[in-house]
Amino acid sequence: MDKINIREPRVEVTEYPSHPKNKNWGAKEATIYNTRISADPKGRTAVEIWKNKKEEMVEEELEKEEKKFLKFLAERGHISAFYQANVGITYEVPRHTTLFLCSFDHPKYMQQSQRYTKADEFISYSKSEDVVEIFSKQSNLYRRMLESDSVPKEDARYILPLGIAATHIHQNTNLAGLMNIHRVLKSEKNVVPKITKDSFYDAIEKLETMEPDLFNKEIMNALIEADKGYPVADMFCKKNKWVNEVLKNLEKNATVSRFSYDTTSELEKRADKFNDEALSFLSLSNNPERVDGYIATMSISAWHQFMRNDTVKDSVESVYNAAERGEIIVPPKVEKSSFNEEYIDLFKETLELYQKIKKEDCKENAMEVLPHGLGLGVAFSLDGFNRKKGFLPDRTQEAAQWEIRDIARELESGIP
């Protein structure tokens, strides 16, 4: 077995708002005074309002007023105010954490790609010998496939577990984006691993030390109480009933199929309660009586890229349901290589270990051993933009990830 390096996550705030001419201007000032311009009778700029306030009030009184104003904005759901100040956060986390973070559309991400860089370490809290052993086996097969020159990085990575390190991921976001992540993490509808929660709240704590009046759970909770947020296609949900149902429409050996699903009172009621699975599914269509779209299965590797098409509406199967189905996606170049049988055997061994850890511990801790080649059900729709200028033109190109390219070309050729 290969000797492997397993370490804990790291999080750092790397960018913070500033003003080129005013050194005391930060995220709080950008949020408050960019908002105040909308109702300023004198037509002043944000900086002018801020400077006038500083001249009129003593520092302690101004701080109290600013804190009160932020609370006022949050309690009334004035979410636009909280998009005004962007910050940059760098994470070193397991890949399953990036799968969670990147599912949110409003933060924007840049990430080190496994298609081009070699994966060589793991990020995990686990001390289990079984986990270390399976990580080592997966790493060993990955390394040997690369050394053979017959399997490229983008295909060899399918055997890597979700506990593999995403060494560099940069998040550009704001309080509104962070609030929506917090909303999902505090929901009982989701089963998100502790290492993901810890990494996110580590970032919040670091931001709170920089600007406690703005970056705190009180403000985020007030926005949530005001019913603010936006639906997310989250593979860490307990179950996505509607994707599970339309997944039955996918014909055997088909890349992608159409589906039509009549809306039900249960779907509508769940959506009314801000259920992300119901809302993300309903968002696939503008027809209140029926949801029309496409259903496909793709590897977790492909899903990681598919979800980054921000203008494509999608809804995804729970990774925990996918693990029970146990669909093994084998890249063509692996299938044609001498590693095919070993790949499938190791994949099956990993699925068995997942079941063992789930039974002895819990499924969110077991999930980190699952390979990137596990098949997920994804329901989605394409509007005119994505048929003409967005998804289809981009993803039918030869440089596109092969699974997504196959789906895009099937859609381009026309599906009955």
Q: Structural domains in the chain?
A: 27-83 (no CATH), 241-413 (3.30.1360.170)
For residue 175, what pLDDT is reported? 98
For residue 403, what pLDDT is reported? 95
For residue 260, what pLDDT is reported? 95
Specify whether the backbone of 355 is left (phi greater than 0), alpha (psi in -120 to 50) or beta. Answer: alpha
For residue 329, what pLDDT is reported? 97
| Mean pLDDT split into 10-residue runs, the chain, 416 residues | 86 94 94 96 96 96 97 97 97 96 91 70 94 96 94 94 90 97 94 97 98 97 96 96 93 87 96 95 94 96 91 97 97 97 98 97 96 97 94 93 94 80
Nearest Cα residue to 413 out of 383, 387, 394, 389 = 387
Nearest Cα residue to 167 out of 300, 308, 9, 15 = 9
DSSP-derived letter for residue 110 is E
For residue 252, what pLDDT is reported? 78
Spell 181-210 as b/e; 16+ CB within 10 A means b: bbbbeebebbbbbebbbbbbbbbbeebeee
- The size of the chain, in residues, is 416
Tell me if the pTM is above 0.85: yes
Contact call for residues 400 and 411 (beta carbons, < 8 A) = no
- Give the integer Cα–Cα distance in Å for 408 and 416: 15
For residue 255, what pLDDT is reported? 86
What six digits make up the tokens of 160?
């890597």
Dihedral sign, CA of 394, 104, 110, 327? negative
Helix/strand/coil for 221:
helix
Contact call for residues 109 and 171 (beta carbons, < 8 A) = yes
Query: Burial of 135 by CB count in 10 Å (0-12 exposed, 13-18 middle, 19+ buried)?
Result: buried
For residue 416, what pLDDT is reported? 58
Helix/strand/coil for 234:
coil
For residue 185, what pLDDT is reported? 97
Nearest Cα residue to 285 out of 378, 376, 379, 377 = 379
Angle 129-147/340-360 helices, nearest 10 degrees? 160
For residue 284, what pLDDT is reported? 96
Partners of residue 172 on adjacent β-strands: 88, 108
For residue 4, what pLDDT is reported? 87
Specify whether the backbone of 294 is left (phi greater than 0), alpha (psi in -120 to 50) or beta. Answer: beta
Helix/strand/coil for 2:
coil
